[in-house]
Amino acid sequence: MLTFTKHLPANPDAVVSCSLPMTADDRTRSRHRFETDSGQVLHLRLPRGTVLRDRDLLESEDGSCLVLVSAKPESVLTARASTPLLLMRAAYHLGNRHVALEVADDYLRLSPDSVLQGMLEKMGLEVIAEIVPFQPDMGAYAHSH
């Protein structure tokens, strides 16, 4: 079992020992026990408030091991609009509800919620359920690494 205490930004040249697929919720946990696909047990002991992103790296306490964080596919709702203005309006309404939201040029993505799905459909957006990696925006006050 290894303990990981250091979070590093993505580095395509890094030599990693293994990959750790994590859901969006998992990537907000600073203290947790995870198991890799190969069965290796990893303990996170990161600074409180650390939010991991896809392709970030975790370094073991003793510096002997680097683990690549990957965004694990999970159930989400993807909303698409017929116009950019409609997509912006939907983002505004979801933001007022403090929903974790992935914002892209042509879609919004959020965790499954039937009430929010109904609201978006009533606004005229097409909403589909998918299982894909979820990368919610970290917000205006998030720290970059």
CATH number of the domain within which 42 lies: 2.60.260.20
Give the per-residue pLDDT at 46: 95
> Looking at the structure, do residues 14 and 44 belong to the same domain, yes or no?
yes
Output the six-digit token pair for 61: 């306490």
C-alpha torsion sign, points 119, 123, 127, 132: negative
Domain containing 112: what range?
73-133
Instruction: Say how many residues make up the chain.
Output: 145
pLDDT above 90: residue 124: yes
> Looking at the structure, do residues 6 and 62 belong to the same domain, yes or no?
yes
Q: Taking residues 66-80, report their average pLDDT.
A: 96
DSSP 81: -
Contact between 116 and 77 (Cβ < 8 Å) = yes
> Looking at the structure, do residues 46 and 83 belong to the same domain, yes or no?
no
Distance between CA atoms of residues 138 and 127, nearest Å: 22
Distance between CA atoms of residues 113 and 144, nearest Å: 29
Answer yes or no: is 141 within a domain.
no
134 band by pLDDT with thresholds 50, 70 and 90: very high
pLDDT above 80: residue 12: yes
Answer yes or no: is 99 within a domain.
yes
38 band by pLDDT with thresholds 50, 70 and 90: confident
Give the per-residue pLDDT at 37: 77
Q: Average pLDDT over the chain, rounded to whole?
A: 93
Give the per-residue pLDDT at 145: 45
For 90-106, the pLDDT digits (tens) are 999 999 999 999 999 99
Domain endpoint, select from 52, 71, 90: 71
